[in-house]
Amino acid sequence: MSTRSSKGEVNKTSLSFNIPDFLHIYTNESNIDWNLLKIYIEQKIGTGITVDVRKDFLFYNTRETQDLNFIAEQLVKTKVFDVSNPTREYDPFPVEIKHEMDLIKDPEKKVFGMLYDGFKLQTLFRGLISSGESNFKHLHLVFTNRSIGTWDRGDGRYHARTSVYGFPCIISSPGLVEAPAKPREFYILRKALVVSGMARELVEAELKDKFRDTFIDYEDERLTDIVKGYILQAFFYHTTFEPFCEDKNCRLFNAHWQEDMMHAQLTGKDFCDKHEGILEEIKTKMKK
């Protein structure tokens, strides 16, 4: 499931389309074919936008920053330590700051068991973008190996998200796997197997074998195709402020379930007729 940010937006009534000149994709995810995605986006959107794939966002944007300790401390402060309290303040321990510094220096390290507030992380990232690229001619798309979440006022708790759209846009690699819900039967069977006393690693292996065609897993060969839709959602957010579609056959569909995500991203054409038409209109304006 994705969400959008209300921060850093241009007045929607001031222009029809906010078309960027550059799309910067930051990643440390090695299980995705980024060269293929670059070609796909260039072909899909057209030659009016320059697409480049960069290293991990924090690694790229802190190369000349001396105060990594401060940035690491701010990263710790974006963590969610109480899923039922979005205003809880937290004083980071030195070991936590050091851990974040290690992750900045070695971005291929995996991050386990911690949720980061997506909007707070977005605000921190925005402040690290160079002044020359800190404008709406640049679409910054950050793929992170951190799990991100946002506060839901409806039920008073944080929920994991696949993406947070704004400036910059953030897509969580673990969120692609964990945020959209798996089939209900998956959770029912997992609970039953755990209660039966089966070892947790055997439970996970059993479930993955039984439900392999109903959800995406880590190191899944289909991730490259799945990511196409989320890049397009980020582009549509930046350009039209409307990243989502209600049509389950469109890559812009905001899936809450893994099966719906797989259907939208792995079957049929890229867009519904409505968004195909909008894209053609954008491409026409890009040529002028």
| pLDDT exceeds cutoff 80 at 10 | no
Number of domains in the chain: 1
Task: Establish if 8 belongs to a structural domain.
Answer: yes
| pLDDT exceeds cutoff 90 at 286 | no
Among 4-13, 120-129, 186-195, 252-261, whose mean pLDDT is lowest? 4-13
| pLDDT exceeds cutoff 60 at 272 | yes
261: domain CATH number? 3.40.390.10
Residue range 229-252: average pLDDT?
Answer: 96
The pLDDT, as a whole number, for residue 54 is 95
Neighbours of 213 (CB within 10 A): 7
Task: Establish if 195 belongs to a structural domain.
Answer: no
Task: Establish if 191 belongs to a structural domain.
Answer: no
Residue range 254-279: average pLDDT?
Answer: 94
Task: Establish if 188 belongs to a structural domain.
Answer: no
Three-state DSSP class for residue 255: coil
Closest listed residue to residue 28, CA positions, set 4, 61, 64, 72: 61
Three-state DSSP class for residue 45: helix
For residue 79, give both structure tokens: 């963590």
Neighbours of 180 (CB within 10 A): 23
Beta-strand (E) ranges in 65-222?
115-117, 138-144, 147-152, 157-161, 163-165, 169-172
Closest listed residue to residue 5, CA positions, set 144, 151, 130: 151
Three-state DSSP class for residue 106: coil
Residue 50, H or E segment: strand 50-54
Task: Establish if 210 belongs to a structural domain.
Answer: no
The pLDDT, as a whole number, for residue 66 is 65
The pLDDT, as a whole number, for residue 9 is 42
Three-state DSSP class for residue 277: helix
Task: Establish if 155 belongs to a structural domain.
Answer: yes
Task: Establish if 102 belongs to a structural domain.
Answer: yes
Query: How would you class 68 by CB atoms within 10 Å of its CB: exposed for 0-12, middle for 13-18, buried for 19 or more?
Result: middle
The pLDDT, as a whole number, for residue 205 is 84
| pLDDT exceeds cutoff 90 at 242 | yes
pLDDT digits (tens, 9 = 90+) for 99-146: 999 999 888 887 877 899 999 999 999 999 999 999 999 999 999 999
pLDDT digits (tens, 9 = 90+) for 27-82: 987 789 999 999 999 999 977 899 999 999 999 998 766 688 899 999 999 999 88
22-26 β-sheet, strand order: 2-4, 163-165, 169-172, 138-144, 22-26, 50-54
Identify the domain containing residue 146 by its residue range: 2-180+215-287
| pLDDT exceeds cutoff 70 at 97 | yes
Residue range 200-206: average pLDDT?
Answer: 84
The pLDDT, as a whole number, for residue 8 is 42
Task: Establish if 123 belongs to a structural domain.
Answer: yes
Whole-angstrom CA distances from 105 to 56, 93, 98, 221, 264 are 10, 19, 11, 27, 36
The pLDDT, as a whole number, for residue 5 is 58
For residue 42, give both structure tokens: 């260039």
